[in-house]
Structure 1
Amino acid sequence: MRLLEPHPPTDTAANRQHWHARLSLGFANDRGTTRLIQRSHVGPLRVQKPLYPEQPSVCHAIVVHPPGGVVGGDQLAIHCTVGDSAHALVTTPGAAKWYRANGHVSRQDLALRVGAGGSLEWLPQETIFYNGADVALDTAIELAADASFITSDILCFGRTASGESFDHGRVSQRLQVRRGGRLVWFEQGALVGGDDGFAGPLGLQGRTVCATLLAVGRPASAACLQALREEASDRFGVTQMKSVLVARYIGDSSQEARRLMHRAWRLLRPVLLDRDAITPRIWQT
């Protein structure tokens, strides 16, 4: 969900009618080829044509938000279904940007479903919250008992390259994952810019970037875990819990976060999905 204009919106643009945008995607296995069989939208959310940079069984799709940034009061909803034995990789063309609130909460509701033997890689590029943003992110994931899923999330608070800090604003998140009808992962929380929780040991500890990679499926091998943990530091760590693996980063560099998340994905993909890690070309542009 890439920003096309170089600057935040003017007050006039910010006071426009709020966007209420919805996108529904459906992928299905058609005799060994994963096809994008459904794509419907209301408002400014689109998906580019399906791509096959590795093999027909894996469909890559790029979700685009044409306005670029998300203004206070905008409401986005994305629903994605991957059918039985299908495999989809969904990403975005660049960083998502959430602008100041202007007195209104912005929302993104994400609902993902993966059928029996299916796989979904939901890998958006980083998210930047402008100072004063008020954002609610809600993600619900439903997996079949033998489905596989990988996602990563890189959150950047304030435009630090421009000298901006996130000293006011609010970002709340809720994430729940069910596999075979059982809740296997749940977390929720809120970070408020400038308060003690944001800067304290239970928050970001004064850092400006946090990132999480979540992988659900077969447990990672000992060799894979060892390779991941070789990256471990006071800013990056990995935990394996039965069918769920979590890798986290906290620091001040979106580039370092991106490198670590991509490294973790490259190590996990062959183990979890039996596929080599083919880097989407859009990540390199």
Structure 2
Amino acid sequence: MTAAGVRATARIGARDDGRGGTSLPVLEGEGPLALRRTRASGSEARVMLVGAMSGPLGGDHFTVEATVAAGARLHVGSAAATIALPGQAKGEARYDVLLDVAAGGELRWLPEQLISAGGSELYVSTRIDLEPGARLVFREEQVLGRVGEEPGRLTSRLTLRIGGRAVLDQELACGPGAPGGWDGPAVLGGHRALGQLVVVRPEFEREPVRARLLGESAALTPLAGAAALVTALAPDALLLRRVLDEALSSLG
């Protein structure tokens, strides 16, 4: 911890153990980013990210890295929601997520939601790099404000590259100080929960998904490189999760 806030990094490395399972030669967490291996499911290793402290707070910089080698299967979740809070240190907090999956590897990234509490400032950056032939399920859920409060300032950028080619690069800013119109009908339309689901499967190369609406406030969009994107809005986190779960089930 410094005067500018807490710096912490968590690293996960998964590889084929040669016996039909997945080993975790790298499982390291610092300070507020604790990692716990949980009961495996078949050949899939499971890891839980456990927040050991409140945060991120103003001035904090958290980084989570996950690398999945060929033949390995990794599922990453979190024990509870992440809450961005105002802190004593000035300036925005940062939360970086760096994910790399080799050909023949599979990553399911399914943490709980991120809540942007009133007065907080957080920049979230997620960079996903896949080799052709990798498989991915990535879920991101954000809730603007706790019950009865206005949200903090939240900026989120998601970048997906497959074989070094960018197939998705988007950024959204919400809350006080964000560009005008973020809460208007063209963006959030008054909703306070927003999420997306990125699914990458080699079979989508042969049979791309069909673009379609998934209810009133969700849509499925095909992307290049065997990928599909679901974007959704909802009045609360519970309904948002239901929409994203149904979307994932519809993809088979």
TM-score computed with the length of structure 1 as normaliser: 0.79
Pick one of 213, 224, 230 that aligns with 1:247: 230
Task: Tell me the SS of whatever aligns to 1:77.
Answer: strand
Task: Tell me the SS of whatever aligns to 1:153.
Answer: strand
Task: Tell me the SS of whatever aligns to 1:63.
Answer: strand
**1:87-106 equivalent positions in 2, closer than 5 A:** 87-100=73-86, 102=88, 103-106=90-93
Alpha-carbon separation, structure 2, partners of 1:222 and 1:114: 21
Which is strand-richer, 1 or 2?
2
Structure 1 residues 118-148: Cα deviation after superposition (integer angstroms, max 9, x where no partner): 0101111111110121101111111111101
Matched, 1:235 2:217: yes
Structure 1 residues 77-135: Cα deviation after superposition (integer angstroms, max 9, x where no partner): 11110011111010101111111255321101111111120010111111111012110
One-letter code of the match for 2:247? A
Aligned in 2, Cα 1:233/1:262: closer, same or farther, shift over 3 Å?
Answer: closer
**Counterpart residue number, 1:11:** none
Contact 2:22 2:74 in 1 (8 A): yes
**Counterpart residue number, 2:23:** 35
Structure 1 residues 160-189: Cα deviation after superposition (integer angstroms, max 9, x where no partner): 2xx1122xx321122111111211211123
Alpha-carbon separation, structure 1, partners of 2:167 and 2:115: 28
Shift of 1:265: 2.7
One-letter code of the match for 1:236? A
Pick one of 191, 196, 220 that aligns with 1:212: 196
Matched, 1:159 2:146: yes
Contact 2:208 2:222 in 1 (8 A): no
Alpha-carbon separation, structure 1, partners of 2:208 and 2:201: 14
Pick one of 36, 56, 62 that aligns with 1:76: 62
One-letter code of the match for 1:48? R
Shift of 1:194: 7.1
Which is helix-richer, 1 or 2?
1
**Counterpart residue number, 1:177:** 160
Task: Tell me the SS of whatever aligns to 1:199.
Answer: coil
Pick one of 246, 249, 252 that aligns with 1:266: 249
Contact 2:68 2:100 in 1 (8 A): yes
Structure 1 residues 11-42: Cα deviation after superposition (integer angstroms, max 9, x where no partner): xxxx9872211111100001121111111233
Shift of 1:60: 1.0
**Counterpart residue number, 1:197:** 181
Alpha-carbon separation, structure 1, partners of 2:62 and 2:45: 23
Structure 1 residues 205-232: Cα deviation after superposition (integer angstroms, max 9, x where no partner): 2221111111122355999968x96x82
**Counterpart residue number, 2:35:** 47
Contact 2:61 2:93 in 1 (8 A): yes
Pick one of 106, 128, 132 that aligns with 1:141: 128
Task: Tell me the SS of whatever aligns to 1:165.
Answer: coil
Mark the runs of 5 or more structure 1 residues left unpaired by the alignment. 1-14, 272-285
Alpha-carbon separation, structure 2, partners of 1:139 and 1:186: 10
Alpha-carbon separation, structure 2, partners of 1:232 and 1:146: 27
Task: Count residues in correspondence.
Answer: 247
Contact 1:113 1:143 in 2 (8 A): yes
Alpha-carbon separation, structure 2, partners of 1:62 and 1:68: 17
Mark the runs of 5 or more structure 2 residues left unpaired by the alignment. none
Superposed structure 1 runs of 4+ greater than 6 Å apart: 221-224
